[in-house]
Structure 1
Amino acid sequence: MNRFCTPWGDLELTRFPEDPRDPLRAWDSADEYLLRHLKGIDGEPVDMSGTVVVLGDRWGALATALAGFGPVQISDSYLAQQATRANLARNGRPADAVRLLSTQDTPPPRIDVLLVRVPKSLALLEDQLHRLAPRLHEGSVVVGTGRVTEIHTSTLKLFERILGPTRTSLAVRKSRLIFCSPGAVAERGDNPWPYRYTLGADAGAAAGLSVVNHAGVFCADRLDIGTRFFLQHLPRHRGPARVVDLGCGNGVVGTAAAVANPAAETVFIDESHQAVASAEATFAANTTGGKAEFMVGDGLSALPDGSVDLVLNNPPFHTHQSTTDTTAWRMFTGARRVLRPGGELWVIGNRHLGYHAKLRRLFGNCQLVASDPKFVVLRAVRR
Structure 2
Amino acid sequence: MIDRIKYLALTGLLLASAVQAQSSGQTDASAIHQRVLILDSHADVLLPSTPKRYYLPDGSSRVDLAHLTRGGVDALVLAVAVGPGPRDAAGVAAARREADEKLARIKAFIAGNPQRVGLALGAEDVERLHREGKIAVLIGFQNARSIGKDLSQIDLFYREGVRIFAFNHAGHNDFADSSRPGAEPVSEHGGLSPLGREAVKRLNDLGVLIDVSQLSSDALLQTLQLTRVPVAATHSSARALIDNSRNLSDAELDAIKANGGVVQVTPFSVYVHKQDRAGLARTAAVRTRYGLSAEADTPYAGSEAFPEERRNAFLDALAAAQSRGTLGEFVDHIDYIAKRIGWRHVGIGSDFDHGSGVSGFDSEADAPNVTAELVRRGYSEEQIAAIWGGNFLRVLRAAAAGRAK
What TM-score does the superposition give when structure 2 sets the normalisation length? 0.28
- Larger helix share, 1 or 2: 2
